[in-house]
Homo-oligomer: A and B are copies of this chain.
Amino acid sequence: MKKTALDTFDNKGYKPGSIAKRSLWYVIKILFFNTLIPFSSGLKRNILRIFGAKIGKAVVIKPNVHIKYPWMLSIGDHSWIGEGVWIDNLGEVNICANCCISQGAMLLCGNHNFSVSSFDLIVRNITLEEGVWLGAKSIVTAGVTCHTHSVLSVGSVASKDLEAFSIYRGNPAEKIKSRTLK
C-alpha cells in the first residue's frame, strides 16, 4: 500500500494573489477583523472593498471575523456575518443578499486528495444563494451550493448541496423539513 508523503506536497500551482497583497491584508485583518474591538461594519466594508471584495449595502460584519482572501469574496445587500465566523476562502465564496451566517460558522473551500501520496490541494468555490441561514458553528465544505433560503442548523456540516427552502441538520447534514415563509 502506498503512503502519504507530505514532503511531496506541492501547491505552487495555487496562486491566490501576490505576496505583497496577502501580507498587507494579513496585517489589516489582524488589526481590524480578527479582534473583539468593535470597529463599525461600514469601516470593515470599505476595507474589504479596497482589497477587492464585492460588498453590498448594509452588510453587517461582527467582531472577530476571519477572512482568508477578500479578493475572492462577495457578499450581497443586507447579509450578516456573525461573530467568530471563519471564511476560509481559498476559492471564491459568493454570499448573496439577505443571508445570515451565525456566530462561529465556517466556510471551508480547501480540501485534499487523500487518494494520492502528495495529498494534493483541492480548492472549490462555495455559494450561498439569497436568504440562506447558516446556524451557529455550522460548517459548509468545499464545492457546496446552499440554494436559496436553505437553512443549515446549529453545529451541522453541509458536505453536499442544500436544496432551496429546506432545513438541514446533522453531520452529514440531512434534510429534515421544508421552509415556508409567510
Chain B residues within an 8 Å CB radius of A157:
154-156
Does A114 contact B179, Cβ atoms closer than 8 Å?
Answer: yes
> A64: shortest Cβ distance to chain B, in Å?
9
Given that A106-B104, A154-B108, A159-B154 are known contacts, is A4 also in contact with B116, CB under 8 Å in the complex? no
Which applies to chain A's interface (DSSP): helix, strand, loop or mixed? Answer: loop
Q: Tell me which of A38, A181, A182 has the highest count of chain B C-beta atoms within 10 A of its own C-beta.
A: A181
- The answer, yes or no, to whether A15 is at the interface (CB within 8 Å) is no
Interface residue tally for chain A (C-beta within 8 Å): 58
- The answer, yes or no, to whether A133 is at the interface (CB within 8 Å) is yes
**CB < 8 Å neighbour of A30 from B2, B37, B108, B156:** B37
Given that A133-B114, A137-B106 are known contacts, is A34 also in contact with B34, CB under 8 Å in the complex? no
Contact with B along A49-92 (1 / 0, CB 8 A): 00000000010000000000000000001111000001010000
Chain A residues proximal to chain B, CB less than 8 Å: 1-7, 26, 30, 34, 36-38, 58, 77-80, 86, 88, 98, 100, 103-104, 106, 108, 112, 114-117, 119, 130-131, 133, 136-137, 139, 141, 148-149, 151, 153-157, 159, 165, 167, 169-172, 179-182
